[in-house]
């Protein structure tokens, strides 16, 4: 990807990133980026209690999953995945 494409991608993502009041991941970025199974389970459990889950999950569903990594909107997107689909085990119920 060249620099112009990268800048365009970042602008597009920033423009479409929703405000997520009350986001429980706000001060736990390391936990949400972790690939350790215990951390993945803990981050998904936080998403399930997050007041921003619906809005966050809707946003995640609107993004090409190749650009997602870690836990987002109650789902875990492995950073080492070949298939960009989120893991089935990492799905939180949608509200």
Which one, 29 or 85, has the nearer CB to ligand SF4?
29
Q: Does 68 bind ligand SF4 (CB under 6 A)?
A: no
Closest to ligand SF4 by CB, 7 vs 35, is 35
Q: Contact at 8 Å (CB) between 92 and 75?
A: yes
Single residue of 73, 77, 86, 90 touching ligand SF4 by CB under 6 A: 73
Nearest in space to 92 (alpha carbons), one of 66, 64, 56, 65:
56
Residues 76-95: x where in contact with ligand SF4 by CB under 6 A, - otherwise, as a string:
--------------------
* Alpha helices, H only, the chain: 3-16, 29-33, 37-49, 53-62
């Amino acid at each position: 990807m060249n620099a112009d494409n990268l800048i365009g991608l970042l602008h597009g993502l920033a423009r479409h990133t929703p405000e997520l009041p009350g986001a429980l991941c706000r001060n736990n970025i390391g936990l949400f980026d972790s690939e350790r199974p215990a951390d993945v389970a803990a981050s998904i459990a936080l998403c399930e209690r997050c007041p921003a889950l619906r809005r966050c999950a809707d946003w995640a569903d609107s993004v090409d999953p190749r650009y997602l990594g870690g836990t987002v909107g109650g789902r875990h997107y492995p950073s080492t995945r070949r298939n960009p689909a989120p893991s089935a085990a990492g799905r939180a119920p949608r509200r």
